[in-house]
Amino acid sequence: MELAKRIEKLFNTRCKEFKQEYKLNFGVYYSPAENLCYTAMKKFKEKYGEIPLVSDKEFFTNSMHVPVWHELSPFEKIDIESQLTGYSQAGCITYVELDASAVHNPEALEQIVNYAMDKDIPYFAINVPSDTCLDCGFQGEINDACPICGSENIQQLRRVTGYLTGNYKTAFNLGKQDEVHHRVKHVGVME
């Protein structure tokens, strides 16, 4: 975390210097790096090869996010990422991944949102899968086949790089598809 803060402080300082020098509005923006997370990883692998926990996937973890495969509670994720949001003058997002059952627990959703706001998260989202079997109409989290009728004719609604998509497997590059594949649910309660 100390290294991350030093890097973000450097970005922030350099943007302020450039703003003064060029009289333009430079700022740190924690981008979702929609295509860059994949294309930059391909270039990195070409130059440095595969390094465990650095380049062993098809994407770089973007922005100031905890890696998507890291298992922790929504509160722990918010605690970590909230330490870095203040370095951005141009925008950032913190999100947590929950399972489909969360839609039936509005009190828990409210607790998570309030916690994020208390941690001064400027832009917060909760990702909850909302899939629909286009044959029988079942709704919930469906990964490969409908648990009711077995159909693979599924509309999978996922948030990818800030956008809701009905079919992320065709709408996004291999890096973002791999990122969604590696996402874990943030579970746990506040102590």
- Residue 188 in this model has a pLDDT that exceeds 80: no
Q: What is the pTM of this model?
A: 0.84
Q: Which residue has the higher pLDDT, 93 or 110?
A: 110
Rounded CA-CA distance 145/3 in Å is 43
| Residue 115: pLDDT over 90 | yes
- pLDDT tens profile 126-166: 988 888 999 999 998 887 899 999 999 988 877 766 666 66
Find the farthest-apart pair of alpha carbons in the chain and give their distance in angstroms, rounded: 63
What the block records as the tokens of 122 is: 């400027």
Rounded to whole angstroms, the Cα distance separating 173 from 35 reads: 7
